[in-house]
Structure 1
Amino acid sequence: MNKKVIAALAMMSVFSTYASAAALRVAADAVPHSEILNHIKQTDKKLDLNVIELNGNLNANELLARGDVDANYFQHVPYLRDQEKALGETFSVVATVHIEPLGIYSHKVKSLKDLPDGAQVAVPNNVTNLSRALYLLQANGLLKLNSTRANTLVTSADITDNPHHLKIIEVEAPQLPRALDDAQLAIINGNYALQAGLVPSKDALALEQAKDNPYANVLVTTPKLAKDPRILELAKDLESKQTAEFINQHYRGSVIPVNQ
Structure 2
Amino acid sequence: MGQQHANAKRKNGSRIALIIVVVVVVAALVAGWGLFSSKKDDNVTVVTAGIVSEADTAIWDTVNQVLAKEGKNIKVKTKTFQGGSGQANQAVDNGDLDFNAFQNKNFLKTQIASQGYKLAAIGDIYISKYNVYSKKYNSVNDLPDGAKIAIPNNPANAGRAYDVLARAGLITVSTKSGELYPTKDDVTGNPKHLDIEEVDPNEIPNLLEDYDAGITNAYAIIDHGMDPDEDSIYAPKLEITGRDSQWVNVFVVRQSDKNNKIYQEVLKAYQSKEVAQTIRNRFKGAYVVAFNY
Percent identical among aligned pairs is 26
- Give yes or no for contact 1:36–1:247 (8 Å, CA) kept in 2: yes
Distance 2:236 2:180 in 1: 16
The reply on whether 1:134 has 2:166 as its aligned counterpart is no
SS of equivalent to 2:268: helix
- Aligned partner of 1:246 in structure 2 is 278
Distance 1:208 1:35 in 2: 26
2:150 maps to a residue whose letter is A
| Structure 1 outlier segments of 4+, above 3 Å | 17-21
Quote the offset at 1:230 in angstroms. 1.8
- Aligned partner of 2:248 in structure 1 is 216
Distance 2:58 2:237 in 1: 23
- Aligned partner of 2:82 in structure 1 is 55
Quote the offset at 1:18 in angstroms. 5.9
1:50 maps to a residue whose letter is K
The Cα RMSD (Å) is 2.1
1:39 maps to a residue whose letter is T
- Aligned partner of 1:90 in structure 2 is 118
Question: Match for 1:168 among 176, 196, 199?
Answer: 196
Distance 1:25 1:217 in 2: 18
Distance 2:202 2:79 in 1: 18
Distance 2:137 2:261 in 1: 50
- Give yes or no for contact 1:92–1:222 (8 Å, CA) kept in 2: yes
Distance 1:55 1:140 in 2: 29
Size of the aligned set, in residue pairs, is: 242
1:34 maps to a residue whose letter is T
Which shows bigger deviation, 127-136 or 225-234?
A: 225-234
The answer for unaligned runs of 5 or more in structure 1 is 1-16
Deviation string, structure 1 residues 75-111 (Cα, Å, up to 9, x no partner)? 1111111111222122121220100011100001111
2:174 maps to a residue whose letter is N
Deviation string, structure 1 residues 136-160 (Cα, Å, up to 9, x no partner)? 0110111111249xx8321112111
Query: What does 1:71-220 correspond to in 2, within 5 Å?
Result: 71-147=99-175, 152-211=180-239, 212=242, 213=244, 214-220=246-252
What TM-score, normalized by structure 1, do the two folds share? Answer: 0.87
What TM-score, normalized by structure 2, do the two folds share? Answer: 0.77
Distance 1:179 1:186 in 2: 8
Quote the offset at 1:241 in angstroms. 2.1
Distance 1:223 1:18 in 2: 23
Question: Match for 2:268 among 211, 233, 236?
Answer: 236
- Aligned partner of 1:257 in structure 2 is 289
1:222 maps to a residue whose letter is R
Deviation string, structure 1 residues 27-58 (Cα, Å, up to 9, x no partner)? 11224433211221234213211111112256
SS of equivalent to 2:285: coil
- Give yes or no for contact 2:165–2:171 (8 Å, CA) kept in 1: yes
Quote the offset at 1:210 in angstroms. 2.2
- Aligned partner of 1:33 in structure 2 is 56
SS of equivalent to 1:202: coil
Question: Match for 1:24 among 30, 34, 47?
Answer: 47
The answer for unaligned runs of 5 or more in structure 2 is 1-38
